[in-house]
Amino acid sequence: MQELLASADLIVKALIGFVVGALIGLERQKKLEASRTAGVRSFGLHSLLGTMTAYMSELISNPVILVYGIVISTILVATQVYYKLFRTMGKGLTTPLVFSISFVLGVLVGFDTPSPGQLFGMLSVFAMAVSFLVFLILGFKEELAHAVEVITRDEMISAVELGVVILFAWPLVPQIIQIGIIEFPAFQIYVLIVILLTIKFANYLLVKKYRDRGIYFFGIFGGLASSEAAVSSLTDFYVREERRGAGKIAVSVNLANIAMSLRNGFLLLIIDRTFWLFRLYIGVMAILIIMSMIRMFQENRDHEQPSKALYDLKLVSPFELGPALRFGAIFSGVYLIQLLFTQTYSGTGLIVAAIIGGLVSAGAVVASSATVFMLNPALYPEAAMAIIIATIISVLNKMIYVYLGDRQTRLVRIVARDSIIIASFILMYLVLFMLGFI
């Protein structure tokens, strides 16, 4: 017993038990008024009470101790409610509510049983996550209140629909569907559709807040998740906006390509411990950034700022499942073809997979090629070529996604011109590498 009580794990458990409540109390104390009596110490000790009673009741297999803690917590919360409503005549029960939550978080920490070699397990992680979430909700009260005031009915319904797709469909989608000898990644396709729906909703919010500049923000942040999905969403948005601002949409497509290259470079930085592939890929990132910045400067110079915003949010729906499903179907078809060419990790297989996989996701090709290189450094030339080729294809495939979303030629022509120019410079970089100059 003495050895158990003196262990470092219990010290950590006690500290976490106090912190999960103290973090909530910190925000409450920042707004301390005469009517509020609970702060960092009260909230922290309250959650520590939950940790102690839960741990001791489990240690000696006697639930009476936990019941004792629950009774004490109930009395404290009831006192807070009474003091709030009848003594100070205050409005709202936020403080008593989060005070009771702090006790529950402490109980979770007390019942936590970490795996051997770990300081805390899933229950402690969950308690800390909830504590931080409550802290954010309380800390950004004014911002949340303002957001609720300006949100429209359609936006609220769209957010609920997105939540239903994510929360309820998530556990029902299988990881893999076996199609003959091919393992079809059904869950990956579902995640891609969720990403597309999410960035479409983010696109709506960004454009609503920043109007014309929001398109640029969306190109960057959407490209970090999936440049192909971002371009598909941008094209659909452009069509619904009566095809206004084609130049701005094209610049946003270039920004999505920049974000895609930065994400791929980050993947290489994580996977490639020799940094050979990363050093080579810096040139690709530089080409994308320089050419896209030149294109943005040209667009802003040639077109003066309009007297009114180009985009009217009344014409845009925040949530549209149809385009996301269409993109998922395209992704699935190309991905199935790619799987047929990746049965072997030979050098030729890497390059063929890069050509086909670049149509779907350059990030997947970059990650797999870097992994193959780490397993077999002799394949450095093939892996490097596969990564650069996948990036070239990923830049060029934006023409396809734009054309699928908008059959008219204006936006397709601008995106095709930009993509071909950028891809040509990257291709020259690839030729220099193949000739041994890089």
pLDDT over 50 at 315, yes or no: no
Top-confidence residue, 258 or 337: 258
Q: Are 354 and 391 in contact (CB under 8 A)?
A: no
Q: How many CB atoms lie within 10 A of CB 148?
A: 9
Residue 2's pLDDT is 43
Residue 269's pLDDT is 84
For residue 88, give the DSSP letter.
S
Kindly report the average pLDDT of the chain as a whole number.
Answer: 77
Residue 311's pLDDT is 44
pLDDT over 50 at 231, yes or no: yes
C-alpha pair distances (Å), 423 with each of 17, 398, 416, 419 = 55, 11, 10, 6
pLDDT over 50 at 414, yes or no: yes
CA 324 – CA 55 distance, rounded (Å): 48
What's the whole-number mean pLDDT along residues 276-290?
93
Residue 33's pLDDT is 54
CA 222 – CA 230 distance, rounded (Å): 5
CB contact burial 206-243 (16+ within 10 A = b; e otherwise): bbbeeebebbbbbbbbbbbbbbbbbbbbbbbbbeebee
pLDDT over 90 at 392, yes or no: yes
pLDDT over 80 at 431, yes or no: yes
Top-confidence residue, 298 or 173: 298
CA 296 – CA 301 distance, rounded (Å): 9
Q: Identify the CA nearest to 73 among candidates 46, 40, 105, 38.
A: 46
Residue 274's pLDDT is 87
pLDDT-above-70 percentage for the chain: 69
Place of tokens 């559709």: 193
φ/ψ region of 330 (left if φ > 0, alpha if ψ in -120 to 50, else beta) reads: alpha
Residue 268's pLDDT is 86
pLDDT over 90 at 280, yes or no: yes
pLDDT over 50 at 237, yes or no: yes
Residue 316's pLDDT is 44
Q: Are 308 and 302 in contact (CB under 8 A)?
A: no
CA 283 – CA 67 distance, rounded (Å): 64
Sign for the pseudo-dihedral over CA of 134, 140, 141, 146:
negative
Residue 97's pLDDT is 85
Lowest mean pLDDT among 173-187, 242-256, 313-327: 313-327
Amino acid at 283: G
Residue 173 structure tokens: 């989608």
Residue-wise pLDDT tens digits, 337-378: 655 665 555 567 778 778 887 877 787 778 777 877 887 788
Residue 380 structure tokens: 């450095």
Residue 160's pLDDT is 67
pLDDT over 50 at 189, yes or no: yes
Residue 418's pLDDT is 92
State the greatest distance between any 2 C-alpha atoms of the chain, in Å, as a whole number: 83
What's the whole-number mean pLDDT along residues 88-93?
63
CA 436 – CA 438 distance, rounded (Å): 5
Q: 52-60 long-range contacts, Cβ below 8 Å, gap at least 24?
A: 52/14, 52/17, 52/106, 52/110, 53/107, 53/110, 54/106, 54/107, 54/108, 54/109, 54/110, 54/111, 55/10, 55/13, 55/110, 55/111, 58/110, 58/111, 59/4
Residue 47 structure tokens: 């959650």
Q: Tell me the helix, strand and coil percentages in the chain, rounded to 5.
A: 80, 0, 20
Residue-wise pLDDT tens digits, 115-171: 776 667 888 888 888 888 888 777 766 655 555 555 566 666 666 666 766 667 777
pLDDT over 60 at 207, yes or no: no
Q: Which residues pair with 184 in a beta bridge?
A: 177
What's the whole-number mean pLDDT along residues 212-223?
71
Top-confidence residue, 271 or 274: 274
Residue 42's pLDDT is 85
Top-confidence residue, 193 or 37: 193
Residue 1's pLDDT is 44
Helix, coil or strand: residue 360: coil
Residue 347's pLDDT is 62
pLDDT over 70 at 288, yes or no: yes
The predicted model scores a pTM of 0.55
Helix, coil or strand: residue 386: helix
Residue 388 structure tokens: 């650069």
pLDDT over 90 at 428, yes or no: yes
CA 207 – CA 200 distance, rounded (Å): 11
Burial class for 285, CB neighbours closer than 10 Å (0-12, 13-18, 19+): middle
Q: How many CB atoms lie within 10 A of CB 139?
A: 14
Rg (CA), the chain: 27
Q: Are 114 and 120 in contact (CB under 8 A)?
A: yes
What's the whole-number mean pLDDT along residues 257-278?
86
φ/ψ region of 178 (left if φ > 0, alpha if ψ in -120 to 50, else beta) reads: beta
Sign for the pseudo-dihedral over CA of 56, 57, 58, 59:
positive
Residue 339's pLDDT is 58
Q: Which residues pair with 177 in a beta bridge?
A: 184
